[in-house]
Structure formats: C-alpha cells, structure tokens
C-alpha cells in the first residue's frame, strides 16, 4: 500500500533541501510503483537484479532505476542496458565489469562507491583507505574506463537507536566525500552525490550532508 500523503510531504521537504528522493520499491508490486510514478516520482531503487529486470520491462521507460544492493559481477549485464545509477560498487573488478557492459551497450554508467560506516559485519563496503587505493588505481586506468563515471559515495549507518552513533557514522562518510570532492586525482566534475539515509535515519543523514536518500518502508509500508 502506497502512502501518497507521506510521498507528498516528503517530496516537498526534500525539494526544499535539494535532496533527491529514491523510492525503494524492492519486494513491492509494480502497481505500487505505478501509483507513485503517477504522482510524479521518477527515481526508484531496487536491490535484486531479477526483480528489477522484471519490473523494468513492465513500467514506463522514463523511470530512473537505481541499483542499491550488493551487485555481483556476473549480473551486471542484465541491468547495463537501462540502469541509471549503481550505488554500491565495492571493488575494482566490479568497476571493470560495469565499464565493459556499458561499452557493449554504448552507454556511460554512473556509479557510487559504497563506504562501510556501520559497526555491523553484514554491511558491504570499503573504508577510507580502500577507497583511496581504488581511486588511485582508477586514475591510472581511466583512459580505458571511459564508460563509467564515479559520481560519489553511498553508505548505510548501523541499525541502532543510538542517535549519536548514527550522526557520527554519517558525518564520517560526508567528511570523506567532501575530501574527495576537493581532490584532483580523478574527474571530480561528476563527483557530487552523497547517498545516505533510509526511512529510519534520513533526517539525521540530511543534517550530516546527504543529498540523496533511499526510502522504502515510509512510502510503501513495511516489507514482509
Ligand atoms: C531496503 C534499502 C533501503 C530502504 O530501506 P527502508 O528502511 O525501507 O527505507 C535503503 N537502502 C538500501 C541499500 C536498502 O537495501
């Protein structure tokens, strides 16, 4: 069930703050996506490749699909023809594969690097050092990696009631984002997206500098 009133107030609130809303529609039926689409929502996020591909074929082509889950290299080719932004890149091999599939499709694919900020082992991502190493390497290979653009960072905070901790984790990500945005070692003109914040913590994320939030249950109801 889609909560249209929440969508309307959230959209206004986020527009005023210059924050992009990704409606996370994973596990939800295409009818729910269409309902938000009809209100004007265009950015949707999914985290299962097969589910995304099935939904994409049934819905309007001007939807911007965001892949927000952990992506396996062998699945990149299924989404390469249409994906708008891949949020959670956490290895150089994955970057290579995205570039390869983007080239095959005659496209340039935008990606974010996933930074690990939570104190939970289950959340994927790289720390500051690993991201620096990856970007250094990217810099040496960028003439061959012309079909991808690294557009920013993405991260997930710990699932906790400890507000101070969540602030600190988002702050860490945003600080590193700012640091990278101020360097010259890769094409930083595209480096502008700081994707952090979900239903439970998006307000904290925005206070800490997020400009893209990924919100599911607040809009679509809780998932089974
Ligand atoms: C599911 C998911 C979200 C949305 O979570 P909600 O709590 O339903 O808002 C955001 N980001 C990622 C990476 C997710 O997997």
Query: What is the domain-level CATH number for residue 48?
Result: 3.20.20.10
Task: Write down the pLDDT at residue 167.
Answer: 98
Per-residue pLDDT of the chain (224 residues; tens, 9 = 90+): 899 999 999 999 999 999 999 999 999 999 999 999 999 999 999 999 999 999 999 999 999 999 999 999 999 999 999 999 999 999 999 999 999 999 999 999 999 999 999 988 777 899 999 999 999 999 899 899 999 999 999 999 999 999 999 999 999 999 999 999 988 766 667 899 999 999 999 999 999 999 999 999 999 999 98
Task: Mention every residue, 6+ apart, whose C-beta is less than 8 A from residue 78.
Answer: 49, 50, 53
What is the pTM for the complete model shown?
A: 0.96
Does the Cβ of 197 fall within 6 Å of ligand 1? no
pLDDT of residue 183: 82
What is the 198 CA–ligand 1 centroid distance (Å)? 6
* Ligand 1 proximity of 26 Cβ (cutoff 6 Å): yes
pLDDT at residue 186, as a whole number? 62
Determine if ligand 1 sits within 6 Å of the CB of residue 52: no
- Alpha helices of the chain — where are they, by DSSP H? 4-17, 30-39, 49-58, 76-79, 92-104, 128-141, 163-181, 202-207, 217-220
Going from the Cα of 47 to the center of ligand 1, the distance in angstroms, rounded, reads 9
CA of 135 to the centre of ligand 1 (A): 26
How far apart are the CA of 183 and the centre of ligand 1, in A? Answer: 30
* Residue of minimum CA distance from atom 11 in ligand 1: 214
Q: Which residue range forms the structural domain that includes residue 8?
A: 4-220
Q: What is the number of structural domains in the chain?
A: 1
94: closest CA among 81, 120, 116, 112?
112
């Amino acid at each position: 069930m889609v909560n249209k009133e929440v969508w309307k107030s959230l959209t206004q609130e986020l527009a005023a703050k210059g924050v992009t809303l990704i409606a996370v529609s994973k596990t939800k039926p295409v009818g729910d996506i269409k309902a938000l689409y009809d209100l004007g929502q265009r950015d949707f996020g999914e985290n299962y490749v097969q589910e995304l591909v099935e939904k994409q074929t049934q819905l309007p082509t001007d939807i911007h699909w965001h892949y927000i889950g952990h992506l396996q290299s062998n699945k990149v080719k299924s989404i390469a023809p249409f994906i708008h932004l891949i949020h959670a890149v956490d290895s150089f091999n994955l970057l290579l594969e995205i570039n390869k599939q983007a080239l095959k499709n005659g496209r340039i694919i935008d990606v974010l690097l996933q930074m690990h900020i939570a104190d939970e082992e289950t959340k994927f991502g790289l720390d500051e050092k690993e991201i620096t190493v990856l970007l250094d390497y990217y810099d040496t290979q960028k003439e061959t990696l012309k079909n991808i653009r690294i557009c920013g960072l993405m991260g997930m905070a710990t699932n906790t009631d400890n507000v101070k901790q969540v602030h600190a984790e988002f702050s860490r990500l945003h600080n590193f984002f700012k640091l990278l945005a101020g360097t010259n070692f890769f094409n930083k003109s595209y480096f502008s997206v700081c994707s952090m914040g979900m239903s439970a913590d998006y307000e904290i994320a925005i206070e800490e500098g997020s400009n893209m939030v990924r919100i599911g249950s607040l809009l679509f109801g809780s998932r089974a």
